[in-house]
Amino acid sequence: MTMPLILVAVMVVLFACGVYLLLDRSLTRLLLGFLFVGNATNLLIFLMSGSFGEAPLADSAAAEDMSDPLPQAFILTAIVITFGVSAFLLALIYRSWRLAQDREDAVQDDEDDIDLAKTEALTVVEVTDDDLAETPEFSDDDDDSEGPAVASERAASDAGEGKAR
Amino acid sequence: MTVLVPLVVLVPLIGAALALVFPGRERVQQSITVTALAIVVGLGSTLMWAADSIGTLVMEVGGWAAPFGIALVVDRVSALMLTVSAVVLLGVFLFSLGQGLADGDEETPVSIYYPTYLVLGAGVCNAFIAGDLFNLYVGFEILLVASYVLITLGGTTQRIRAGVTYVVVSLVSSILFLAAIGLIYGATGTVNMAQLTVRIAELPDETQLLLNLALLIAFGIKAAVFPLAFWLPDSYPTAPAPVTAVFAGLLTKVGVYAIIRSQTLLFPDSSIDGLLLLIAALTLIVGILGAVSQLDVKRLLSFTLISHIGYMIFGIAIATSAGFAATIYYIAHHIIVQTTLFLAVGLVERQGGTTSLSGLGGLMRSSPVIAVLFFVPMLNLGGIPPFSGFLGKLGLFTAGAQLQTPAAYWLIGIGALVSLLTLYALVRAWVLAFWRPKPVTTAAAEPVKTPSTEALLLRKREEAMFERLQDAPDAQPTQKKRGIPKLMIAATVGMIGVSLVLTFAAGPLFAYAERAGDDLASPEKLAELVLETEQPNGGSGDTSIPGEEGAHG
C-alpha cells in the first residue's frame, strides 16, 4: 500500500488549520474551519482506499489494477452533505449577524447560564403562614368563568361609586 | 416481510415531499404528516412482531448481496426502537397540532415544520435499520440536518444563539464519525457491520481500541454522555416545546443505540467496559447535580435527560445479556417518559406563561389537570415502584449485581442515589410551580423591603422578557395565558397512557427485551444471518416494491 506523502501532509495541515479555526469565536472562521476539517476528512477516506490505479469501470482494466471505488462513493456523499450543511451554516451566520446588536458575528453567550452563575441563593423562599393568608384564593372554575365574575364585581363596585356620588 | 423494512424510511420521506408540495395549506400538510406517521407506527409494530416471531429481517437494497450492497437489518432491538420512536413522533406531532405552532407566531414558517418533522422521523428510522456503518452515518446526517432546521425554527435571537452551539457541536461529532468510518474502512476494507464483526476481531488490540474510542467519542457527543454533554442543556430548552420533547426523547437515544451497536456488534470483546462504567457514573452524577441547581424547568429536564443517559451506559458497560435487556427496556421507558415530561412542561409554559421557577406558582389551583400530567411522569422518571422507571432500574441493578464486581456495586449505589436526586429535583420544581401560591410580582417589588434575590431575579427576567419581546414577536416567554387546546392535553394523556402500557405490559415487554439482549450478546448469529442471505430474497421482488412506492410519491 503506497500512500502519497504529499496528500498525507496536506491532510495534516488541513486538519490542524481547521481545528484551530473551529476553536475561534467568530462564526465565519468557524465555517472556514468546518470546511477545512470536512475536506481533510475526505482526504483521509481517500487515503484509506489503499493503492491507486485505473478508473474502476467494468472491463476497462484488471480488477487488481483498479482503485477502490467505495471510498470515492463515500467522499461524494460526504461532499454533498458538507455542501448542504455549509449552506445552512451560512444562512445561520447571516441571521445571527443580523440579530446581533453590536454587528458582530461571534458566538453569543447564554444569558440564562450567566444569570444562574450570578444567582446567590436559589428561589426556595420559605412560605410563612402570613404569606398564605395574604394569598388570594383562587376559585376552582377556569379562566372563562372567572372573567364574567370579575366583570360583574367591577360593575357592582362601579354602581356603588355611582350611588356614593 | 423484508419488503416492509425500507418503508419505514420511505413513507416519511414521501410524506415530506408531498407536504412540501402544499406550502401554506396547513390542513393538507397536517393530514399528510399524521397519515405518514400513523403508517410508520403500524409498520414499526408489524416489524416488531415479525422480528420476534419470524426472526431478524435482512433487506438487501437493490438485490446486492450483503458485503457489497447496503444491508438494512431489523432485529428485535431496532424493531422496538422503531416502534417506540414512531409512537413518540406521532404523539408529539398531535401535541404540536394542538398547540398550533403557528398561533400568534407570524414569523414561524410553519409550512416548513411538517416536512422537516417527517424528514427527522425518516432519519431516526434510517439510523435504527442501518446494517451498514456508512448508512448509519447517512441516517444521522438526515436527522441532524432536520434538527438544525427545527431548533432554529423562526430564527429568533435565542434560538439562533442556541442553534449555533448545537449545529457546531453536531458538525464536529459528524466529522469525527466520518473520520472513524474512514479509519475503519482503512483497517478492515468494509463498512458492513456484520462483516466488521468478523474482521475487527482479527485486528491487533491497539488498533481495535483506537477505532473503538474514535466511534465512542463520535457517538458520545450525540448521546450526550458526561464530558461531551454540555451542549445539550444549552440548546434544547430554547426550541418550541414539542420540538424539545421529540429531541429529548429520540435524538440522544439514537446515539445510545449507536453505542450499543458498536459495543455489541463491532467490538464485542472490547476492553473499555471499565471506561464505560466510569463514564456512566460521571454522567449520572454530574447530570443530576446540574438538574438540582437549575431555575428553569426545561433546563432542569435537559439535565435529568443527561443524567439518565448514564443508566443506559451502565447497562451497556455490564455487557451481559441481562444488562443489554435492561438497557433496552430502560431506553424504551426513558424515550417515552422524558418526552411526556417535556410535553407537560409545554402545557405549563402555556398556562403559566414561563418555564422559570421564579415566575411560576399556584398552578395547582388554576390547572389541576396539568399538575397531574406533570406528576405522573415525574414519579415515573424518579423510579417510584409501580411505574416502568422502577422496573427498568430494577432490571439494571439486578444485572449489575450479577457481575459481583466492586465497580458494579458502586454504580448501583450511585444509580439509586441519582434516582432519589431526580425525584428531589423534580419534586422541587413541582412544588414551586404547582404547590406554592403564585408569587405576586407587585409584592416582590415593594420598595419597603430590601429586594430579595428572587425579586431581583424576577425583575431581571422581566427586563429580559421585554427585550426579547422587541427582538422577536414570537418569543415564547411573552405568551399570554390562553386556553389550552384539548388536543394538547389529549396528546399528553396519550403519552402517559403509553408509559403506563410499559408498566402493565412489563412482563411480555421485559421478556422481549431479554430475547433482544440475548441477540445482542451473541453477535455472531446476526453476522452469519446478514452475510448468508443472498439466495432466498431474489433481488428483483424486493426492490421493485419500494421503487413503485417512490413512483407514487
In a mutational test of the A interface, the residue from B147, B185, B452, B481 whose CB has the highest number of chain A CBs within 10 Å is B185
- Percentage of chain A modeled with pLDDT above 90: 26
Query: Which parts of chain A fold into alpha helices (H)?
Result: 5-22, 27-47, 69-99, 111-118, 129-134, 143-164
* Nearest residue to A38 via CA among A70, A14, A21, A3: A14
- What integer pLDDT is reported at residue A17 of this predicted model? 94
Residue of A nearest to B137 (CA): A78
- What integer pLDDT is reported at residue A122 of this predicted model? 52
Examine the pLDDT at B404 and tell me if it is beyond 50: yes
- What integer pLDDT is reported at residue B480 of this predicted model? 47
- What integer pLDDT is reported at residue A156 of this predicted model? 47
Residue-wise DSSP of B386-429: TSHHHHHHHHHHHHHHHH--HHHHHHHHHHHHHHHHHHHHHHHH
* Nearest residue to B397 via CA among B419, B422, B376: B419
Q: Which of B164, B179, B428 sits opposite A44 (nearest CB)?
A: B179
pLDDT, greater one: B97 or B258 = B258
Distance from CA of A73 to the nearest CA of B (A): 11
- What integer pLDDT is reported at residue B220 of this predicted model? 92
What's the first-to-final CA gap in chain B, in angstroms? 22
- Where does the pLDDT of residue B83 fall: very low under 50, low under 70, confident under 90, or very high at 90 and above? very high
- What integer pLDDT is reported at residue A151 of this predicted model? 44
Distance from CA of B359 to the nearest CA of A (A): 10
Examine the pLDDT at B545 and tell me if it is beyond 60: no
- What integer pLDDT is reported at residue B148 of this predicted model? 92
Residue B191 CA to residue A71 CA, distance in Å, equals 10
Distance from CA of B197 to the nearest CA of A (A): 19
- What integer pLDDT is reported at residue B458 of this predicted model? 67
- What integer pLDDT is reported at residue A64 of this predicted model? 75
Q: Which of A95, A119, A132 sits opposite B457 (nearest CB)?
A: A119
Average pLDDT over residues B542-553: 35
Examine the pLDDT at B52 and tell me if it is beyond 80: yes
**A122–B437 C-beta distance less than 8 A:** no
pLDDT, greater one: A146 or A113 = A113
With beta carbons less than 8 A apart as the criterion, state whether A40 and A14 touch. Answer: yes
**A143–B481 C-beta distance less than 8 A:** yes
- What integer pLDDT is reported at residue B534 of this predicted model? 47
Examine the pLDDT at B48 and tell me if it is beyond 70: yes
- What integer pLDDT is reported at residue B478 of this predicted model? 42
With beta carbons less than 8 A apart as the criterion, state whether B401 and B321 touch. Answer: no
User: Is B192 in a helix, a strand, or coil?
Assistant: strand
Residue B147 burial (10 A CB sphere; 0-12, 13-18, 19+): buried
pLDDT tens for residues B139-161? 999 999 999 998 888 777 788 88
- What integer pLDDT is reported at residue A42 of this predicted model? 92
- What integer pLDDT is reported at residue A133 of this predicted model? 63
User: Is B69 in a helix, a strand, or coil?
Assistant: coil
Find the range with the poorest average confidence among A106-115, B8-17, B524-533: A106-115
How many degrees, rounded to 5, is the angle at CA B146 between CA B47 and CA B162? Answer: 130
Residue B81 CA to residue B462 CA, distance in Å, equals 42
Examine the pLDDT at B104 and tell me if it is beyond 60: no
In a mutational test of the A interface, the residue from B175, B232, B295, B446 whose CB has the highest number of chain A CBs within 10 Å is B175
The residues with which B73 forms a beta bridge, in sequence order, are B58
Distance from CA of A48 to the nearest CA of B (A): 4
- What integer pLDDT is reported at residue B537 of this predicted model? 43
Q: Which of residues 14-43 of A touch B (CB under 8 A)?
A: 22, 27, 30, 34, 37-38, 41
Per DSSP, A137 falls in state P
User: Is A92 in a helix, a strand, or coil?
Assistant: helix
Q: Calculate the average pLDDT of chain B.
A: 82
* Nearest residue to B248 via CA among B495, B520, B505, B502: B495
- Where does the pLDDT of residue A143 fall: very low under 50, low under 70, confident under 90, or very high at 90 and above? very low
Residue A65 CA to residue A43 CA, distance in Å, equals 21
Q: Write phi, then psi, for B24 (nearest 5 degrees).
A: 85, -20
- Where does the pLDDT of residue A115 fall: very low under 50, low under 70, confident under 90, or very high at 90 and above? confident
Q: Calculate the average pLDDT of chain A.
A: 74
For residue B148, which residues of chain A lie inside 8 Å, CB to CB? 85, 88, 92
With beta carbons less than 8 A apart as the criterion, state whether A86 and B394 touch. Answer: no
Query: What is the pTM (predicted TM-score) of this model?
Result: 0.82
- For the stretch B240-252, what's the b/e string if a residue is b when 16 or more beta carbons lie within 10 angstroms of its beta carbon? bbbbbbbbbbbbb
| One-letter amino acid of B421 | L
Please name the residue that has the C-alpha cell 394523556.
Answer: B493
Find the range with the poorest average confidence among B106-115, B379-388, B528-537: B528-537
Residue B170 CA to residue B410 CA, distance in Å, equals 32
The residues with which B296 forms a beta bridge, in sequence order, are B356
- Where does the pLDDT of residue B529 fall: very low under 50, low under 70, confident under 90, or very high at 90 and above? confident
Q: Which of A49, A74, A144 sits opposite B134 (nearest CB)?
A: A74
- What integer pLDDT is reported at residue B466 of this predicted model? 58
Examine the pLDDT at B444 and tell me if it is beyond 70: no
Per DSSP, B522 falls in state -
Residue of A nearest to B174 (CA): A38
Q: How far is CA A133 from CA A150, B108, B421, B432, in A?
A: 21, 43, 32, 18
With beta carbons less than 8 A apart as the criterion, state whether B245 and B87 touch. Answer: no
At A48, which helix (H) or strand (E)?
none
- Where does the pLDDT of residue B449 fall: very low under 50, low under 70, confident under 90, or very high at 90 and above? very low
Residue B68 CA to residue B533 CA, distance in Å, equals 12
pLDDT tens for residues B171-207? 999 999 999 999 999 888 888 888 888 888 888 888 8
In a mutational test of the A interface, the residue from B168, B169, B461 whose CB has the highest number of chain A CBs within 10 Å is B168
Residue B133 CA to residue B198 CA, distance in Å, equals 14
- Where does the pLDDT of residue A146 fall: very low under 50, low under 70, confident under 90, or very high at 90 and above? very low
With beta carbons less than 8 A apart as the criterion, state whether A41 and B179 touch. Answer: yes
Average pLDDT over residues B356-382: 81
pLDDT tens for residues A16-27? 999 999 988 888
Residue B226 CA to residue B280 CA, distance in Å, equals 8
Examine the pLDDT at B523 and tell me if it is beyond 90: no
Examine the pLDDT at B319 and tell me if it is beyond 90: no
For residue B443, which residues of chain A lie inside 8 Å, CB to CB? 134
Q: Which of A27, A34, A144 sits opposite B171 (nearest CB)?
A: A34
Distance from CA of B141 to the nearest CA of A (A): 8
**B357–A121 C-beta distance less than 8 A:** no
Contacts of B516 (CB under 8 A, 6+ apart): B75, B76, B77, B80, B324, B325, B328
pLDDT tens for residues A80-92? 999 999 999 998 8
Examine the pLDDT at B553 and tell me if it is beyond 50: no
**A116–B295 C-beta distance less than 8 A:** yes
pLDDT, greater one: B289 or A131 = B289
